[in-house]
């Protein structure tokens, strides 16, 4: 599928009517793992390819997105892939990751379906990440079930890595974050006792007792309470959680956080963070056009804990997070791949420019939320490249057919990666508005788009 052609009606914030609003539209993303670092949220995801192989999960790399307002997200592209893992000789199986910062480094724990859990190390949140071990980190007899790692460093500096399907296991990581204490459990690996009291009572397809826990754990601590959030209840998966007063339990089952709803995938995977005084719940659905159980999309809801620290039942919404935490400054360079919503686009990477927007066709658009024009702008400029006849960028407020501030005629730059800054005059917009960049032109790909800014 070359492009995601969206045919739903858009209202208000351009959310889907009757379905969840994915925060990424250019690719299918799943298994959200948010990390707060330096006042920015970095969201690591797995990546479902547009076309599946053998009608199964087709996943080659891990992607990263960032935001400071929880509505506009910047695409950092694929920050690691199975090609970075020299000891693994297959090209599929890049499942749910999680990243954590420590010791001035960034540690990306990645499960490989059929290959266990590896750890990649980078110098920045967006990589590049390196396989420093040259072998799997978790070396057990359960490599096919060694998936979905979740990482947490406690207040005393001890780091814990939990993972597993259909049972929950953990190791106590050493300070280097790439090895673990092998003096506990079975060669360092502790398998939890899966009891109904700890993880909820359920029965399997054969009527045998089991727990509600399935996979996809998310481990964190808040106000002295340890939380273990996980996919639960079989297929289709709900999200449930348990709590403890110790990082290794005993755990007590607390109930569901998210139940089955229309357009949720048959799998689910969550991540929870607090950011700028708010609490956020990440999950994935199949609600993007062309989506399905093997083509999922990350979604986001804001919520509030109950007074006792318990998590309420969260209902997926069409709007997701409605309001930006801060206004965007259009007088500084804004990457074109920063967007609250888009239609019909992809992103790609240029060795010199980094990530840029591509596959731009007539009628496609980018929405950027809560842009603060202040007392008004006079000029719009953008870095563009076109090997075709070019096209136009209509600069509009509040909707795709909203007030037209100006139109930039994109000239042919004689190459799809031959970049040039082009500009146009605009009517002075004042105050805070949603900005729509609507692309017009003939048939086929029109141009590539790297960044934009306004001038006063």
Q: What is the pLDDT of residues 307-356, one digit of tens each?
A: 999 999 999 999 999 899 999 999 999 999 999 999 999 999 988 889 99
> Is residue 124 situated within a structural domain?
yes
pLDDT of residue 20: 87
Mean pLDDT of the chain: 94
Residue numbers of the domain that contains 445: 334-455
C-alpha span between 52 and 41 (Å, rounded): 30
Average pLDDT over residues 227-245: 97
Let me know whether 354 and 280 are in one domain.
no
> Is residue 11 situated within a structural domain?
no
**pTM, 2 dp:** 0.95
Return the CATH number at 395. 2.60.120.260
pLDDT of residue 14: 38
Return the CATH number at 174. 2.115.10.20
Dihedral sign (CA 150, 244, 267, 116): positive
Residue 376 scores a pLDDT above 50: yes
Let me know whether 346 and 390 are in one domain.
yes
Enumerate long-range contacts of 100-107, CB under 8 Å, 24 or more apart. 100/35, 100/151, 100/152, 100/153, 100/159, 100/177, 101/35, 101/37, 101/125, 102/153, 102/159, 102/177, 103/175, 103/176, 103/177, 105/177, 107/151, 107/177, 107/178
Let me know whether 216 and 101 are in one domain.
yes
pLDDT category at 93 given cuts 50, 70, 90 is: very high
Average pLDDT over residues 48-70: 97
Q: Which residues are catalytic?
A: 31, 197
Residue 18 scores a pLDDT above 80: no
Where do the DSSP E strands lie in 233-358? 238-244, 252-258, 271-275, 278-285, 297-303, 334-335, 338-339, 341-343, 346-350, 354-358
Least confident of 65-74, 136-145, 430-439: 136-145
C-alpha span between 103 and 301 (Å, rounded): 31
Residue 17 scores a pLDDT above 50: no
Q: What is the pLDDT of residues 163-191, one digit of tens each?
A: 999 999 999 999 999 999 999 999 999 99
Q: What is the pLDDT of residues 261-292, one digit of tens each?
A: 999 999 999 999 999 999 999 999 999 999 99
Average pLDDT over residues 384-397: 94
Let me know whether 297 and 370 are in one domain.
no
pLDDT of residue 198: 98
Residues 6+ apart with CB under 8 A from 183: none
Average pLDDT over residues 241-260: 98
pLDDT category at 38 given cuts 50, 70, 90 is: very high
> Is residue 42 situated within a structural domain?
yes
Query: Strand, coil or helix: what is 198?
Result: helix
Let me know whether 392 and 294 are in one domain.
no
Let me know whether 284 and 341 are in one domain.
no
Average pLDDT over residues 358-386: 97
> Is residue 9 situated within a structural domain?
no
> Is residue 185 situated within a structural domain?
yes
pLDDT category at 431 given cuts 50, 70, 90 is: very high
Domain count across the chain: 2
Let me know whether 294 and 415 are in one domain.
no
Q: Are 296 and 29 in contact (CB under 8 A)?
A: yes
> Is residue 82 situated within a structural domain?
yes
Let me know whether 129 and 246 are in one domain.
yes
Q: Of the candidates 257, 282, 303, which is a domain's last residue?
A: 303
């Amino acid at each position: 599928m070359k492009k995601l052609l969206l045919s739903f009606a858009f209202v208000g914030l351009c959310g889907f009517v009757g379905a969840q609003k994915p925060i990424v539209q250019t690719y299918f993303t799943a298994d959200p793992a948010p990390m707060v670092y330096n006042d920015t949220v970095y969201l690591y995801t797995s990546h479902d390819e547009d076309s599946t192989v053998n009608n199964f999960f087709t996943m080659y790399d891990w992607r990263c997105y960032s935001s400071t307002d929880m509505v506009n997200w910047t695409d950092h592209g694929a920050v690691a892939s199975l090609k970075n893992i020299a000891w693994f000789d297959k090209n599929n199986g890049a499942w749910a990751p999680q990243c954590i910062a420590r010791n001035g480094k960034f540690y990306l724990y990645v499960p490989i379906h059929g290959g266990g859990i590896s750890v990649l190390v980078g110098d920045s949140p967006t990589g590049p990440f390196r396989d420093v071990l040259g072998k799997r980190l978790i070396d057990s007899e359960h490599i096919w079930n060694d998936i979905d790692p979740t990482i947490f460093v406690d207040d005393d500096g001890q780091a814990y890595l939990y993972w597993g399907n259909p049972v929950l296991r953990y190791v106590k990581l050493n300070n280097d974050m790439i090895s673990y204490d092998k003096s506990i459990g079975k060669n360092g690996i502790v398998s939890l006792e899966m009891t109904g009291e700890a993880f909820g009572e359920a029965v399997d397809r054969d009527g045998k007792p089991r727990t509600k826990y399935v996979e996809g754990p998310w481990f964190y601590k808040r106000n002295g309470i340890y939380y273990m959030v996980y996919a639960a209840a079989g297929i289709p998966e709900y999200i449930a959680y348990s709590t403890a007063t110790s990082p290794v339990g005993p755990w007590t089952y607390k109930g569901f956080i998210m139940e089955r709803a229309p357009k949720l995938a048959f799998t689910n995977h969550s991540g929870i963070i607090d950011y700028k005084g708010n609490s956020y719940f990440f999950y994935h659905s199949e609600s993007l056009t062309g989506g399905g159980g093997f083509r999922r999309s990350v979604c986001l809801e804001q919520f509030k804990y109950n007074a006792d620290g318990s998590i309420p039942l969260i209902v997926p919404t069409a709007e997701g997070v409605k309001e930006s935490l801060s206004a965007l400054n259009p007088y500084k360079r804004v990457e074109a791949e920063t967007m609250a919503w888009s239609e019909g686009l992809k992103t790609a990477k240029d060795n010199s420019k980094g990530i840029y927007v591509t596959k731009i066709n007539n009628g496609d658009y980018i929405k950027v939320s809560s842009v603060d024009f202040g007392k008004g702008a006079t000029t719009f400029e953008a870095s563009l490249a076109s090997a075709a006849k070019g096209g136009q960028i209509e600069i509009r407020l509040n909707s795709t057919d909203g007030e037209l501030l100006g139109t930039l005629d994109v000239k042919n730059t004689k190459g799809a990666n031959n970049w040039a800054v082009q500009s146009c005059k605009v009517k002075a917009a004042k105050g805070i508005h949603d900005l729509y960049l609507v692309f017009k032109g003939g048939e086929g790909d029109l141009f590539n788009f790297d960044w934009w800014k306004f001038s006063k």
